């Protein structure tokens, strides 16, 4: 029953396999799940293996952590090598990341065939792979969890493929799967950076990780559709620390979010982020810009036609203003918003969570 249910979401596991293959520069990768003495390929890239069954894999006997197996005379008769070579007979080297969702439930693994990445892996790359293993752990638990009409959801492509879509869920319910948040918070690089554009200087606290940037963008877009409060709180905590680090503890009058564009005001990440940052800094939040709903996409690479940012006529932002955005791809949003705010405030301090 569990295998059948997971097999219905093979596109998610294929995306995960694709991500790992890209990271290790490998021609073939697969996601396996073992239960009842058999392992099923839930998703693969580089070879049409989804749905194949492997016997005698015995993932439970493997310790956690990355394993490298160079196939030669001394180990070609190992059960795990024979089992994997039954589906990839030309394999010369394997990298295996065992995952234990639950010893009572099943075992899983991400398997990479003939990676071109040199060994040993860098600590950064090893950490990224471990986090993707954790993502698989949480995804299997999520799909296996009992579901009631009030909490039912389906899984579709999004963060490294993972998005929950509510069915019969109350409007205020939080149904974002934890793995989506965890994927972003653990794979985005923590790097304080300073940028300049159009005469303004702004700071960012994180940046994309190039090999999995597309999956990170998909994850952020997925979270923006329902913005879990705990996720916004975590990001606001990071930005609050960055603001104190960059601008010190000098007096700040207000915090303002950039104008909402593709998102409605009640789902605008920059606005919700600015509100929580203001609370953390102990100052006022001001909804300063006129909302202008734009057609199109908020995808960082495709966000065009920004239009003018206009302040509301009756607002008072004070003299020292922190301007907050979630993503600064080119800095255009922050530049236009900063210049608009400069007509009312003496000092504008722009900052975004993610930058290039």
Q: What is the pLDDT of residue 143?
A: 65
Q: What is the DSSP code string of 110-170?
A: EEEES--S-SSPPHHHHHHHHHHHHHHHHHHHHHHS---TTT-EEEEEEETTEEEEESS--
The residues, ordered by sequence, that sit 6+ positions from 233 with a Cβ below 8 Å of its Cβ are 276
Residue written as token pair 């019969």: 168
Q: What is the pLDDT of residue 208?
A: 93
Q: What is the pLDDT of residue 306?
A: 53
Give the whole-angstrom CA distance, residue 295 versus residue 308. Answer: 15
Give the whole-angstrom CA distance, residue 234 versus residue 244. Answer: 16
Q: What is the pLDDT of residue 233?
A: 93
Query: How does pLDDT run across 90-148, given as a tens digit for each residue?
Result: 889 989 888 865 544 558 889 999 999 888 888 888 888 888 887 787 777 666 654 43
74 burial level (CB within 10 Å; 0-12, 13-18, 19+): exposed
Q: What is the pLDDT of residue 275?
A: 95
Q: What is the pLDDT of residue 8?
A: 62
Q: Helix, strand or coil for residue 222? A: helix
Those residues of the chain that have pLDDT short of 50 are 1, 103-104, 146-177, 297-301, 304-305
Can you give the pTM of this predicted structure?
Answer: 0.56
Q: Helix, strand or coil for residue 275? A: helix
Q: What is the pLDDT of residue 63?
A: 64
Nearest to 161 by CA among 109, 126, 212, 112: 212
**Half-sphere exposure of 244 toward its Cβ, with a 13 Å CA cutoff?**
11
Q: What is the pLDDT of residue 264?
A: 58
Q: What is the pLDDT of residue 154?
A: 38
Measured from the Cβ of residue 82, the count of other Cβ atoms closer than 10 Å reads 15
């Amino acid at each position: 029953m569990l295998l059948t249910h997971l097999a219905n979401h093979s596109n998610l596991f294929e995306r995960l396999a694709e991500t790992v293959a890209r990271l290790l520069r490998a021609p073939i990768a697969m996601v396996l799940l073992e239960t009842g003495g058999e392992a099923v390929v839930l998703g693969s890239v580089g070879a049409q293996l989804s749905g194949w069954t492997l016997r005698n894999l015995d993932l439970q006997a493997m310790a956690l952590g990355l394993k490298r197996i160079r196939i030669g005379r001394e180990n070609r008769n190992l059960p795990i090598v024979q089992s994997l070579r039954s589906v990839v007979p030309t394999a010369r080297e394997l990298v295996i990341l065992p995952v234990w969702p639950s010893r009572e439930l099943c075992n899983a693994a991400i398997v990479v065939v003939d990676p071109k990445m040199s060994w040993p892996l860098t600590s950064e790359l090893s950490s990224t792979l471990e986090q993707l293993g954790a993502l698989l752990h949480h995804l299997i638990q999520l799909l296996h969890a009992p579901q009631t009409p009030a909490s039912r959801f389906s899984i579709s492509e999004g963060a490294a493929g993972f998005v929950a879509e509510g069915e019969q869920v109350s409007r205020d319910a939080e149904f974002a799967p934890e793995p989506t948040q965890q994927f972003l918070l653990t794979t985005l690089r923590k790097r304080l950076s300073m940028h300049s554009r159009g005469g303004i200087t702004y700071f960012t606290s994180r940046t994309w990780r190039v090999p999995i940037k597309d999956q990170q963008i998909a994850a952020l877009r997925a979270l923006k559709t329902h913005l879990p409060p705990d996720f916004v709180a975590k990001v606001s905590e990071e930005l609050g620390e960055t603001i104190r680090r960059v601008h010190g503890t000098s007096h700040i009058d207000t915090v303002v979010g950039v104008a909402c564009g593709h998102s409605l005001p009640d789902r605008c990440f920059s606005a919700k982020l600015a509100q929580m940052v203001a609370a953390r800094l102990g100052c006022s939040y001001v909804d300063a810009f006129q909302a202008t709903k734009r057609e199109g996409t908020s995808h960082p690479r495709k966000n065009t036609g920004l239009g003018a940012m206009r302040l509301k006529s009756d607002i008072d932002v004070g003299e020292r203003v922190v301007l907050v955005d979630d993503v600064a791809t080119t800095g255009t949003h922050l530049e236009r918003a900063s210049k608009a705010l400069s007509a009312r405030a003496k000092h504008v301090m722009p900052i975004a969570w993610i930058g290039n």
